[in-house]
């Protein structure tokens, strides 16, 4: 066998031009598979991010019943134990505590209903994007106890700007008494999402707890995981494990059931497209290999004429297919890596001119993954060998006279 | 003469011709299916998402979208209906009244949003009837019946048969107050809005809010998603009323639109890649077949064929092959698309959610799914054969005849 491998390796370098043409065709196919896999991963991340990264988080923990009723009394049960449990989870990248209550916000000019959210600025900054989409002012200032960050539409409605005062009214947990507090606008965010820009107002959680009479409690723990695929799986045991003692831990897929269905459709559509793409690549390989082998039947005839056994010719052809595959895989993997790597760094700017200039920068980033350089090269190798078997059999059956005559 | 030779050459080397033809055929067919499926399935997703919730287009007072208010109304919905009836592409429409209010049932109360709608029109437009999860639709005008969101039913601990008191401010400045009976609970798929929505019959809502015939929005659906921008423009033009504005889904479902744009961009990139693979495949076959046949071209030159004629011969051969392949590919590819558009691919049994149908995904037969592959495949085949053709024309008979 070693002999045939050596011969095959020499053969493919004998006619460099042909090898190069065939190799490039297969390499381009492989590079495309790697890149498209990365692209689809990027598209998935993008969809998940657009759903979770603004504010929601990839998962949330509440007291059971809070989501349905938004009842101020329903704070997360046994908070210290829950937090300890989260800290010991290595898949959880970070989490942040929030209080949430529906209330009223008023300025000298107007009054509106508001979703009043108490946040911990430090951890919140890393989980949600509020600090990235500030249209005016700053996120919470050090020592700015009464700082408030609110949505741009809400600010416009209230006719307030930076430094202006607003008054928030909420009902306290327990007795339902109204609590009122003055805040100063330190920042105005604009997500370009109506629901958020028009109804969210953020304050420091300590202040919010004081108003709501919560004493260290929280209504919501928003979670971010190291790998967003972890959170996208509603069957993950993580959710059950942390849904104890009257609490419920839910993935974003349960928080946004409608979007989850849309994404299921998207994955299905993409899966179908990936199969088509693979089909095109496979087609290319079949054709390239057949072409480069059938054109050389004369040569194989000569081999037979000088006494090579049919099994020898078969082995030689399969070895050549393998050698070509190895060469293409090296080229294709490098090409795929460079292409993906560069675009993963720079991002793909897809925004049309329609809404250009508004919103924060949204780019599509392909995502590199080790598996891309194992699965696809292996598939290409196996496939090339398999495809090589057919011409190998044909060449093994050649009668010498036929082969030598035919090529004229 | 050259054409006849090209024909004969193609037929003479059957295996090679079939191989080259197959590459072009395979690439072309798969590209046709790819585009048809990508367009079809994404339009499918967007259509399901928008149609069931907010419609494709909403006609509103021009500043209503940015700052909704009870007083910003479409004053003559009848006139708008008349215009909509004449615009081609409009499938259905349904007027709505929207206002904030306070609702109480038993000892529970909550801030809610009244949505007044015509159940029959709404069923045709946004499949309102399919969203009911308990009970039934509200009755006709004057029935004083209400359908509430699932989340709100939990908050108020109310269900079909319970009484609901609504309190709000009417358009004439008076305090409006009335009792309604809950007949149904619905799930729209959007939990946030289901926590606050109370649906009344349009006329009941207009009476409660003292709006007369005025409405706040007219939700329009369009026969195909691609026509939305054109129809929105047509509505603006034909209404010829500067106080009104037709807002397309791209604006009112903006974050969803942007997420989909990113996906579509990804699809375009994949399409470019497919074109490249197909192009390289064609290049590779033609190049190889010309290189392997240098001897043959040498022979032709030796018997007195001019270089120009050899070039023409090679190009004609490729063109003949490509046309045959593309013709067959179009039959198969468009056939497959038509089949997938008609029957769809089921990926989940009867999965419906908030009136949306998620179980089946369809392809689409459109001009683009034929023209893009056609142009790229033919162009790449011809361009790519130009190099080997010119080379074939330059073959030196003496040298190549000796070659083996």
* A396, two tokens: 């093994």
Q: Which of A33-42, A163-172, A352-361, B352-361 has the lowest mean pLDDT?
A: A352-361
A291 in the same domain as A204: no
For residue B150, what is the nearest residue in chain A, using CA coordinates?
Answer: A68
> Given A32, A68, A268, which is nearest B277 (Cβ)?
A32
Compute how many other C-beta atoms are within 10 angstroms of the C-beta atom of residue A371. 10
> Given B111, B274, B288, which is nearest A295 (Cβ)?
B288
DSSP string, B264-295: HHHHHHHHHHHHHHHHHHHHHHHHHHHHHTHH
* A340, two tokens: 């993906």
Q: Residue B241: enclosing H or E segment and its boundaries?
A: none
The whole-chain average pLDDT of chain B stands at 82
Higher pLDDT, A216 or B204: B204
Q: How many Cβ contacts (< 8 angstroms) between chains A and B? A: 193
C-beta atoms of B284 and A25 within 8 A: yes
Residue A215 pLDDT: 81
Distance CA A7, CA A138 (A): 70
Compute how many other C-beta atoms are within 10 angstroms of the C-beta atom of residue B209. 26
A116 in the same domain as A204: yes
A257 contacts on B by Cβ (under 8 Å): 189, 191, 353
A266 in the same domain as A289: yes
Residue B357 pLDDT: 58
Q: Could you give the number of structural domains in chain A?
A: 2
DSSP string, A17-66: HHHHHHHHHHHHHHHHHHHHHHHHHHHHHHHHHHHHTTTT-SEEEEETTH
Closest to A298 measured CA to CA, from A204, A211, A397, A401 = A401
Residue A360 pLDDT: 40
The whole-chain average pLDDT of chain A stands at 83
Structural domain range at position A354: 2-51+261-406
Distance CA A336, CA A377 (A): 11
E-state strands within A48-164: 59-63, 92-106, 111-119, 134-137, 147-151
On the question of pLDDT at A233 being above 50, the answer is yes
Distance CA A38, CA A344 (A): 9
Distance CA A176, CA A173 (A): 6
For residue B193, what is the nearest residue in chain A, using CA coordinates?
Answer: A195
Distance CA A117, CA A150 (A): 10
Closest to B282 measured CA to CA, from B154, B162, B166, B384 = B384
Sequence length of chain B is: 404
Mean pLDDT of A279-291: 79
**Candidates A23, A33, A42, A43, partner chain B, best to mutate (most B CBs within 10 A):** A43
Residue B352 pLDDT: 54
> Given B151, B190, B292, which is nearest A295 (Cβ)?
B292
B284 touches chain A (CB under 8 A): yes
Distance, C-alpha B392 to centroid of its chain: 47
Residues 128-157 of B with CB under 8 A from A: 151, 154-155
C-beta atoms of B276 and A288 within 8 A: no
Compute how many other C-beta atoms are within 10 angstroms of the C-beta atom of residue A3. 11
The C-alpha R_g of chain A, in whole angstroms, comes to: 31
For residue B360, what is the nearest residue in chain A, using CA coordinates?
Answer: A265
Parallel/antiparallel/unpaired status of strands A111-119 and B244-248 = unpaired
Distance CA B345, CA A129 (A): 38
- pLDDT digits over A110-152, tens only? 888 888 998 888 888 888 888 888 888 888 887 778 889 999 8
- pLDDT digits over A165-181, tens only? 888 888 887 777 788 88
A146 in the same domain as A85: yes
> Which positions ≥6 away from B326 have C-beta within 8 Å?
B24, B25, B28, B374, B377, B378
Distance CA B94, CA B117 (A): 7
Closest to B243 measured CA to CA, from B363, B19, B71, B122 = B71
Q: Which of A255, A278, A298 is the last residue of a domain?
A: A255
pLDDT-derived band of residue A109, with 50, 70 and 90 as boundaries? confident
Parallel/antiparallel/unpaired status of strands A111-119 and A200-204 = parallel
Distance CA B258, CA A361 (A): 11
End-to-end CA separation in angstroms for chain B: 28
pLDDT-derived band of residue A39, with 50, 70 and 90 as boundaries? confident
- pLDDT digits over A255-265, tens only? 877 777 777 77
C-beta atoms of B266 and A40 within 8 A: yes
Residue A326 pLDDT: 92
**What's the sign of the alpha-carbon dihedral A408, A8, B14, B5?**
negative
Residue A382 pLDDT: 92
B362 touches chain A (CB under 8 A): no
A63 in the same domain as A196: yes
Q: Is B234 in a helix, a strand, or coil?
A: helix
A293 in the same domain as A266: yes
pTM: 0.77
A325 in the same domain as A296: yes
Distance, C-alpha A261 to centroid of its chain: 17
Residue A40 pLDDT: 86
C-beta atoms of A280 and B44 within 8 A: no
pLDDT-derived band of residue B403, with 50, 70 and 90 as boundaries? low
On the question of pLDDT at B219 being above 70, the answer is yes
Parallel/antiparallel/unpaired status of strands B197-201 and A247-251 = unpaired
- pLDDT digits over A335-366, tens only? 999 999 998 888 877 665 344 334 444 677 88
B388 contacts on A by Cβ (under 8 Å): none
Q: Which of A255, A289, A323 is the last residue of a domain?
A: A255
> Which positions ≥6 away from B192 have C-beta within 8 Å?
A195
Distance CA B165, CA B162 (A): 10
Only one residue has tokens 């899966």, namely A271
For residue B39, what is the nearest residue in chain A, using CA coordinates?
Answer: A269
The shortest C-alpha distance from B54 to chain A (Å) reads 14
C-beta atoms of A291 and B289 within 8 A: yes
Residue A378 pLDDT: 93
Residue A296 pLDDT: 77
Closest to B113 measured CA to CA, from B205, B221, B212 = B205
Tell me what percent of the residues of chain B surpass a pLDDT of 70. 95
Sequence length of chain A is: 408
Q: Which of A97-106, B158-167, B280-289 has the lowest mean pLDDT?
A: B280-289
The shortest C-alpha distance from A88 to chain B (Å) reads 32
Residue A210 pLDDT: 86
Q: Residue B116: enclosing H or E segment and its boundaries?
A: strand B108-117
Mean pLDDT of B3-16: 76
On the question of pLDDT at A396 being above 90, the answer is no
DSSP3 helix / strand / coil % (chain A, rounded to 5): 55, 20, 25
Residue A359 pLDDT: 40
Residue A126 pLDDT: 85
Mean pLDDT of A205-229: 85
Distance, C-alpha A191 to centroid of its chain: 20
On the question of pLDDT at A314 being above 80, the answer is yes
H helices within B92-190, ranges in order? 119-126, 150-156
Residues 179-198 of B with CB under 8 A from A: 189-192, 195
A351 in the same domain as A281: yes
- Please state the domain extents for chain B: 2-50+257-402, 56-251
A312 in the same domain as A217: no
Mean pLDDT of A183-206: 86
- pLDDT digits over B55-96, tens only? 888 888 888 887 778 888 888 888 888 888 888 888 888 999
Q: Residue B348: enclosing H or E segment and its boundaries?
A: none
Residue A354 pLDDT: 42
Distance CA B126, CA B222 (A): 11
Residue A353 pLDDT: 39
The shortest C-alpha distance from B19 to chain A (Å) reads 6
Q: Is A318 in a helix, a strand, or coil?
A: helix
A191 contacts on B by Cβ (under 8 Å): 255
C-beta atoms of A276 and B33 within 8 A: yes
Closest to A135 measured CA to CA, from A105, A165, A161 = A161
Q: Which of A219, A239, A255 is the last residue of a domain?
A: A255
- pLDDT digits over B97-147, tens only? 988 888 888 887 888 888 998 988 888 888 888 888 888 888 888 888 899
Compute how many other C-beta atoms are within 10 angstroms of the C-beta atom of residue A295. 20
B265 contacts on A by Cβ (under 8 Å): 348, 350, 364
């Amino acid at each position: 066998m070693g002999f045939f491998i050596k011969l095959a390796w020499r053969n493919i370098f004998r006619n460099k031009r042909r090898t190069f043409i065939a190799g490039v065709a297969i390499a381009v196919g492989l590079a495309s598979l790697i890149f498209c896999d990365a692209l689809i991963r990027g598209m998935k991340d993008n969809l998940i991010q657009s759903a979770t990264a603004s504010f929601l988080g990839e998962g949330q923990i509440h007291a059971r019943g809070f989501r349905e009723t938004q009842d101020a009394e329903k704070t997360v049960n046994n908070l210290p134990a829950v937090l300890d449990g989260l800290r010991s989870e290595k898949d959880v990248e970070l989490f942040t505590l929030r209080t949430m209550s529906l209330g009223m916000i008023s300025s000298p000019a107007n009054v509106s209903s508001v979703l009043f959210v108490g946040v911990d600025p430090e951890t919140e900054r890393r989980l949600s994007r509020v600090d990235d989409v500030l249209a005016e002012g700053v996120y919470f200032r050090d020592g700015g106890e009464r700082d408030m960050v609110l949505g741009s539409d809400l600010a416009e409605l209230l006719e307030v700007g930076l430094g202006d005062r607003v008054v928030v009214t909420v009902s306290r947990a327990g007795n339902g008494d109204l609590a009122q507090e003055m805040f100063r606008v330190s920042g105005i965010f604009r997500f370009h999402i109506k629901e958020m820009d028009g109804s969210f107002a953020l304050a420091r959680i300590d202040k919010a707890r004081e108003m709501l009479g919560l004493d260290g409690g929280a209504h919501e723990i928003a979670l971010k995981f190291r790998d967003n695929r972890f959170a996208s799986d509603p069957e993950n045991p993580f959710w059950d494990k942390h849904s104890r003692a009257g609490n419920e831990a839910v993935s974003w897929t349960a928080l946004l059931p409608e979007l989850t269905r849309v994404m299921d459709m998207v994955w299905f559509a993409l899966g179908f497209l990936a199969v088509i793409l693979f089909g095109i690549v496979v087609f290319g390989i079949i054709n390239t290999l057949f072409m480069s082998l059938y054109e050389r039947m004369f040569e194989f005839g000569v081999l037979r004429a000088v006494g090579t056994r049919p099994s020898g010719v078969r082995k030689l052809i399969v070895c050549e297919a393998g050698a070509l595959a190895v060469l293409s895989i090296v080229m294709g993997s490098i090409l795929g890596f460079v292409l993906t790597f560069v675009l993963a760094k720079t991002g793909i700017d897809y925004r049309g001119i329609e809404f250009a200039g508004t919103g924060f920068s949204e780019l599509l980033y392909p995502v590199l993954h080790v598996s891309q350089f194992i699965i696809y090269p292996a598939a290409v190798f196996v496939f090339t060998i398999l495809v090589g078997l057919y011409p190998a059999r044909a060449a093994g059956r050649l009668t010498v006279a036929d082969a030598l005559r035919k090529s004229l | 003469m050259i054409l006849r030779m090209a024909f004969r050459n193609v037929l003479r080397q059957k295996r090679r011709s079939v191989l080259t033809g197959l590459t072009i055929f395979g690439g072309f067919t798969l590209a046709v299916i790819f585009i048809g499926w990508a367009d079809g399935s994404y339009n499918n997703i967007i259509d399901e998402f928008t149609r069931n919730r907010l419609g494709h287009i909403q006609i509103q007072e021009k500043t209503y979208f940015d700052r909704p208010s009870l007083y910003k109304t479409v004053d003559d919905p009848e006139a708008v209906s008349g215009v909509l009836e004449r615009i081609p592409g409009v499938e259905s429409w349904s007027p709505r009244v929207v206002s904030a209010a306070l609702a109480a049932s038993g000892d529970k109360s909550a801030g809610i949003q009244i949505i007044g709608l015509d159940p029959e029109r709404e069923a045709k437009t946004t499949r309102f009837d399919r969203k009911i999860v308990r009970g039934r639709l509200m009755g006709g005008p004057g029935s004083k019946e209400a359908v509430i969101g699932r989340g709100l039913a939990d908050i108020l601990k109310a269900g079909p048969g319970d009484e609901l008191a609504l309190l709000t401010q009417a358009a004439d400045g008076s305090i409006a107050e009335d009792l309604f009976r809950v007949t149904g609970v619905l799930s729209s798929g959007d939990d946030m809005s289901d926590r606050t929505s109370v649906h009344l019959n349009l006329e009941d809502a207009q009476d409660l809010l003292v709006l007369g015939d005025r409405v706040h929005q007219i939700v329009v659906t369009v026969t195909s998603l691609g026509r939305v921008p054109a129809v929105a423009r047509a509505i603006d033009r034909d209404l010829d009323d500067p106080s009104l504005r037709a807002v397309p889904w791209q604006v009112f479902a903006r974050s969803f639109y942007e997420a989909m744009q990113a996906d579509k961009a990804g699809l375009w990139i994949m399409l470019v890649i497919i074109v490249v693979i197909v192009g390289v495949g064609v290049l590779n076959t033609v190049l190889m077949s010309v290189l392997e046949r240098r001897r043959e071209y040498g022979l032709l030159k030796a018997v007195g064929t001019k270089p120009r004629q050899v070039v023409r011969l090679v190009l004609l051969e490729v063109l003949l092959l490509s046309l045959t392949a593309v013709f067959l590919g179009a039959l198969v590819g468009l056939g497959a698309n038509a089949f997938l558009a008609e029957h769809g691919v089921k990926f989940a049994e009867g999965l419906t959610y908030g009136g949306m149908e998620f179980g089946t995904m369809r392809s689409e037969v459109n001009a683009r799914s034929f023209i893009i592959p056609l142009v790229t495949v033919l162009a790449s085949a011809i361009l790519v054969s130009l190099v080997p053709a010119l080379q074939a024309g330059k073959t030196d008979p003496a040298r190549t005849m000796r070659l083996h």
